[in-house]
Amino acid sequence: MKAVQNFPEPVTGSDSTDNHNAAALAAPQEFAVQSGDKGLQSRNPATSDLLSTSKDVVRIPLDHIFIDGTIFPRATLDIYTVQQYAAALIRGENLPPITVEENKDHEYRILDGVHRFEAYRLRRDVYAKNFVGDFYDEPLPSISDTELNTIPCFVDNVPPGMDAMIFCLLKNRKHGKPPTSEDYRKVARELYKKNVGAPIQGLAKQIKISRKVFTKYVSDLVEAFEEEKKALILELNSAGTPATKISHILQEKFRDAKGTSDNQVSDFLKKEKAAKAGNEDQDDTNADAKNVSDDTESGEDNAGNGAEVEGEIEPTEPLPKPVELKVVYGNASDTIMITGLSSLLPELQEKLKSQVEDLVKQIREENSTAKEDEEDPDEGNPTNQDSSLEDLDTDVHPKQVSKEQSTAHNFRPAILPMRGSRPLMYAM
């Protein structure tokens, strides 16, 4: 006979001072509303006959029943609840039948009713003097060996395609001690382990809890799966496996997982390649900056004849790239600009600056002299200039053009001379 699984013994949410009716607690709703003559709340010949002759309920020896820990939905076994159920049995009360499933060895694993099954075993130990407790009164009522060593059962099967633990959990939701948050956490984690990578929404619906709660229970398992999937993709890709083959391997390994299609694998590899290239570029940039900084410091130490270097270059900032030496002139501010000066050696920079400054000074002086000569072209013959201006003022009508007048004066003044209180030709 298979040994019963060992479960932790901490009491989960039970009160040792609670004198509740254990049979009522264990009873499903359909038993709770039955009338007294057909109910299972007290031991009498009619009740015993009902349990033994019903086509749905059979009595199975306790030693032919076992607890399958792999489908047990409870996080812990509530010892106090077991004792209260056993006390109810000793008092002569009957508990609802448990649900079992027969296997090929003609043994039965429990689908629903582990606490009730343990209560029947505890009652047998009390009558056999193998256990002494304070949850029952002496003397013990008489009981037949058949009733003491058997338990009423429903024989059922887990529906095809349904997880056995989920089936047991849903059975426990209907009656008895309600499942706790720790019970749901255990089932959620076991369900995800069996369906690694499957959508959370669908798994949460199976055990009838919210997606957020389910995610909280399995967040570490989801993270571990994602890391495992990424590592496997990168490993296969480094071995030269094409994306289509990688996708096929992932789908074989994680049958219910998301993110394993050809396109998703290709997109992941592209992102990883881009991220790697970005990291390499960043490393190269940092290396270049360090090399430039080292070169700059070396140049400062070895400058000719102890030449002073203006300013200090930060070691973390790269120097500007040298550009072609150019001279730009003729702009609006009458300045001459030299670009690319920093590409020359320090002594050549100073030489170019000095020579350009001398040249600019010379050109400016020549330019100033030329402008003065242009402004006073008839400076040697002032009499002729005064005569010309006098003739223009006295002999030439404003509307006429003198034939003796120079071509430079062949224009109409923008503002006519004043006569009296208003300009001439005002009415025009």
Domain assignment of residue 128, yes or no: yes
pLDDT of res. 262: 84
pLDDT of res. 280: 65
CATH of the domain at 112: 3.90.1530.10
Spatial distance between the Cα atoms of 347 and 350, rounded to a whole number of angstroms = 5
Quote the domain boundaries for residue 360. Answer: 326-372
Domain assignment of residue 401, yes or no: no
Domains: count for the chain: 2
Spatial distance between the Cα atoms of 210 and 81, rounded to a whole number of angstroms = 28
How would you write the pLDDT of the chain (428 residues) with one tens digit per residue?
443 444 433 333 334 334 445 555 555 433 333 333 333 333 433 334 334 444 589 999 999 999 999 999 999 999 999 999 999 999 999 899 999 999 988 899 999 999 999 999 999 999 999 999 999 999 999 999 999 999 999 999 999 989 999 999 998 888 777 899 999 999 999 999 999 999 999 999 999 999 999 999 999 999 999 999 999 999 999 999 998 999 999 988 888 887 788 888 888 888 888 888 877 666 666 655 555 555 555 554 544 444 443 444 444 444 445 555 666 555 555 566 677 767 777 777 788 888 888 887 888 888 888 877 776 655 545 444 444 444 444 444 444 444 444 444 444 444 444 544 444 443 44
pLDDT of res. 101: 96
Which of 70, 40, 88 lies closest to 166, judged by CA?
70
First to last CA, the chain: 132
Domain assignment of residue 238, yes or no: no
Domain assignment of residue 357, yes or no: yes
Domain assignment of residue 198, yes or no: no
Which of 293, 295, 246, 298 lies closest to 268, judged by CA?
246
Domain assignment of residue 157, yes or no: yes
pTM metric for this prediction? 0.54
Residues pairing with 35 in the sheet: none
pLDDT of res. 278: 75
Domain assignment of residue 13, yes or no: no
Domain assignment of residue 268, yes or no: no
What is the maximum span of the chain, computed from C-alpha positions, in angstroms?
Answer: 159
**Backbone angles phi and psi of 98, in degrees to 5:** -90, 165
Q: Which residues fall within 8 angstroms of residue 259, CB to CB, at 6 or more apart? A: 197, 229, 268
Neighbours of 232 (CB within 10 A): 15
Q: Which of 124, 151, 177 is the C-terminal boundary of a domain?
A: 177
Q: Which of 127, 151, 177 is the C-terminal boundary of a domain?
A: 177
Instruction: Give me 27's structure tokens.
Output: 């009873």
pLDDT of res. 183: 95
pLDDT of res. 368: 82
